[in-house]
A and B are shown apart, each in its own frame.
Chain A
Amino acid sequence: MEPIIFAYLGIGIMLILSGIGSAYGVTIAGNAAIGALKKEPNAFGNFMVLSSLAGTQGLYGFTGYFMLSKFLVETITWTQSAAIFGAGLTLGFVALFSALRQGQICANGITAMGNGHKVFANTLILAVFPELYAIVSLAAVFLISTSL
């Protein structure tokens, strides 16, 4: 296997998993928002804010690709491709699960708001916690890219 293939596998994992995570995360929250709108049609603004929170992990994957793209040349070394593969695995998996769980937290918050409980602020704060790990992974990807 050529090192460039290994590197692109890592990039692929990063983009695929982070994108899937965000797609699922915003869908889970969006589905809850549609249900909650039946009871609280005026709270769409709050629901939209919460629904879109899980969308950032896909962007982090994209950003991670961008940070590593300058190394994706034919003359890439095995060290570089191993680093890129590792970075891809890290950000891909962490972003996937972070987005899924963040979407679930937001969905629960939206459902509670639909039932009349005033939990927008609390949900916003609790949704931060899973995302922190995706951000840390992105920071790790950045540090890997600067060390190559």
Chain B
Amino acid sequence: MIVPMIKYSFLVYHRDFNSFLSKLQELGVVDISKENRTVDEEEKAIINQINRYSNALRFFETRTPSEEKITLSMDADDVISRLDILQKEREQFDNSIKKSQKELAEVKPWGNFDQSLIHKLSDKGIKIRYFAIPEKSFNVEWLQEYPIEIISTESGLVFFVLIDSGDIQIPADFQEVRQPQFSCKFKEDEINRYLGKIDEIEKEIDFLASYNQVIKKSQTELINSLEFKVVSSSADKQAGESVMVLQGWVPEPQNQDLVNFLEQESVIYISEKALPQDNAPILLKNNRFAKLFEPITRLFSFPMYAELDLTPFFAPFYMLFFGFCFGDAGYGILFVIVATIYKFKASQTVKPILSLVQFLGIAAVIFGALTGTVFGYDLAETQIPALVQYKSFFLDKNTMFYSSMAIGFVQIIFGMCVKAANQWIQFGWKYSVSTIGWVIFLLSSAIFAVLGKVRPELGLTAFGPIHLVIIGIAGLAIMFYNSPGKNPFMNFGTGLWDSYNMATGLLGDILSYIRLFALGLSGGILGGVFNSLAFGMAPDLPVAKQIVIVLILLIGHGINIFMSALGSLVHPVRLTFVEFYKNAGFVGGGKEYEPFQRKQ
């Protein structure tokens, strides 16, 4: 449900405006209208700074702060600037190491040698020349014929040097390479030096990570000051800029607090109840069960102020769909137990998520019990004597296939009822007549089709006399009363268009719910496959057999739980947002209620 809002306009003398805003920020209940304003350069700079702090905080989350006490007093800006410098230096050292490693790879075959000796020899007219040729091409007789020495053989190449005093003819097979500019050890030492520097940088970054509370505090102050600035610039200047007019919204339950504050401050104000066509901010208020599903509503869009909040309407269906898709009683019990245990030591922010997991686990247990699936074991196929008598209670795959579409049909009809209710509330009962007509048409067709098959003796068949009367009345509403106030031809044309949309849309929507069956089936079968693998592949050795079975079961069911849970969370979300919201006539686009308050 959407909390009703009261719209306020405050008229404040310009000299008292800042102090009024500070007190309003302390009160923290008014959502200030910030429409029709542009972000100026100063705000952009503050936003950039806040983003820099966020990036730094995110980076520090991956570090282990050093245990040294903070003795150096640094403010957030100093920490961020120093972090930037260290990160740049780190990047430079990383690049230098990469370059040195490349150079090391070139000179490694030549091993360690003294460059100065090479130069001394060169001064005496003895040149050392360097060659590298494939092993297959190397002729060992060359060792006798020429003054060469093999330095190393690696990667299929022979690296050798020739002592050239100036008068040696070398064969064409000798492939000369560039003289190494430095020895292996020189490069290795260089790399170690860089690594040492990087170590120091890392230690300093860990030291900076212990300033994360300082950065958080500065970030919060910046956010508060930005909010203050934005709100301040949202005010309209009137009466030669001496009166500031500010507009905002307050939820009805908190209205009295604001009124008391305004009376105390002797502020002139105008208040009125928010009208449906106002773009009032949305504050959701639901019961304990539906509240758990509000994060799903947030994922899509808040409702408009004029329409109904669909959270309590889709919540039970979502739970049902999860159970259908996950459909394993063993996995469900696991979820409930784990969530219950963690709830005892969880923080307040995590507890709602764990409660949601408990409910979803219960749904999985119910559907697992209905289909007879426990940790991938199909009880409907069991040969265990004690359980054989219960086999007939479990629903078979055909029933589940049709059930998935039946549940979809129920949700679609329910959505259309919600749409009718929305139209009644927003525009009046006349505008909901056509939707109610569709509900009667579809519901009666389904009921009569089922009755005709299941209880033929009643004589109530689809398109029988009674049914025809009902759909005749519904048809009149659909074709001739879909646009109240417009002429009958317009209504008829719109009715035809609605019928076409319904015929094509409804079939696709109902068939979409087959995914519930597909997901449930595949999860169950995969669980069974892992069971077969575990018991089939285990060796016939006393202890090894049990270990292998347990390992395969743990890994297999772990993977299956993860993949099934992911699918079971995502696809009901998709069914809610597409099929249910579409049939419920959800428009959305509402803005969340964000009161102007001091953040801690």
- Using CB atoms and an 8 Å cutoff, list the residues of chain A in contact with chain B: 41, 45-46, 48-49, 52-53, 55-56, 59-60, 62-63, 66-67, 120-121, 124-125, 128, 131-132, 135-136, 138-139, 142
Contacts and interface: CB of A to CB of B under 8 A. Distances in A.
B522 A59 contact: yes
A121 B567 contact: no
Given A49-B573, A125-B578, A59 B515 contact: yes
Contacts of A59: 515, 518-519, 522, 567
B60 to A, nearest CB: 15
Interface stretch (B67-75, B330-338, B506-514): B506-514
Q: Decide if the interface of chain B is mainly helix, strand, loop or mixed.
A: helix
A67 B398 CA distance: 9
Q: Decide if the interface of chain A is mainly helix, strand, loop or mixed.
A: helix
Contacts of B301: 121
B141 to A, nearest CB: 57
Given A56-B518, A59-B518, A125-B582, 16 more contacts: A48-B566, A48-B570, A49-B570, A52-B570, A52-B571, A55-B567, A56-B571, A59-B515, A60-B518, A62-B518, A63-B522, A120-B299, A121-B577, A125-B578, A136-B511, A138-B518
B511 A56 contact: no
A46 B397 CA distance: 32
B269 interface: no
25 contacts: A45-B299, A48-B566, A49-B573, A52-B566, A52-B567, A56-B571, A60-B514, A62-B525, A63-B517, A63-B521, A66-B521, A121-B300, A124-B577, A124-B578, A128-B508, A128-B512, A128-B578, A132-B508, A132-B511, A132-B512, A135-B508, A135-B511, A135-B515, A138-B514, A139-B511
Contacts of B535: none
A121 B570 contact: no
A48 B566 CA distance: 9
Contacts of B58: 41
A110 to B, nearest CB: 14
Contacts of A56: 515, 518-519, 571
Interface string B50-74: 0000000010000000000000000
Contacts of B28: none
A60 B521 CA distance: 10
Nearest to B295: A45
A59 to B, nearest CB: 5
A23 B567 CA distance: 15
B20 interface: no
Interface of B: 58, 299-301, 397, 401, 508, 511-512, 514-515, 517-519, 521-522, 525, 566-567, 570-571, 573-574, 577-578, 582, 588
Contacts of B582: 125
A125 B566 CA distance: 20
Nearest to A56: B515
Contacts of A60: 514, 518
B511 A62 contact: no
A109 to B, nearest CB: 13
B318 to A, nearest CB: 14
Given A55-B567, A142-B401, A46 B518 contact: no
A28 to B, nearest CB: 17
Contacts of B570: 48-49, 52-53
B515 to A, nearest CB: 5
Q: Which of the listed residues A59, A62, A125 has the most CB atoms from chain B within 10 Å of its own CB?
A: A59
Nearest to A131: B512
Nearest to A58: B522
Contacts of A138: 514, 518
B567 A46 contact: no
B299 A49 contact: yes
A52 B512 CA distance: 15
Nearest to A60: B518
Contacts of A120: 299-300
Contacts of B578: 124-125, 128
A128 B578 CA distance: 8
Which 8 A-B pairs have CB atoms at the shortest separation, nearest pair first? Answer: A63-B518, A59-B518, A135-B511, A52-B570, A132-B508, A59-B522, A62-B522, A49-B570
A128 B508 CA distance: 9
A131 B521 CA distance: 19
Contacts of B571: 52, 56
B314 to A, nearest CB: 15
B397 A66 contact: yes
A49 B300 CA distance: 11
B571 to A, nearest CB: 7
B120 to A, nearest CB: 55
Contacts of B574: 49, 53, 124
A88 to B, nearest CB: 16
A56 B515 CA distance: 7
Q: Which of the listed residues A45, A46, A63, A120 has the most CB atoms from chain B within 10 Å of its own CB?
A: A63
Contacts of B522: 59, 62-63
A139 B507 CA distance: 11
Contacts of A52: 566-567, 570-571
Contact of B588 (A48, A62, A121, A139): A121
Contacts of B518: 56, 59-60, 62-63, 138
Nearest to A126: B578
A31 B12 CA distance: 53
Contacts of B299: 45-46, 49, 120
Contacts of B573: 49
Contacts of A63: 517-518, 521-522
A140 to B, nearest CB: 11
A139 B514 contact: yes
A81 to B, nearest CB: 22
Q: Which of the listed residues B299, B301, B582 has the most CB atoms from chain A within 10 Å of its own CB?
A: B299
A32 to B, nearest CB: 16
A65 to B, nearest CB: 10
Contacts of B512: 128, 131-132, 135
B199 to A, nearest CB: 28
B580 to A, nearest CB: 12
Nearest to B508: A132
Contacts of B515: 56, 59, 135
A55 B567 CA distance: 9
Nearest to A63: B518
B24 to A, nearest CB: 29
Q: Which of the listed residues A67, A124, A136 has the most CB atoms from chain B within 10 Å of its own CB?
A: A124
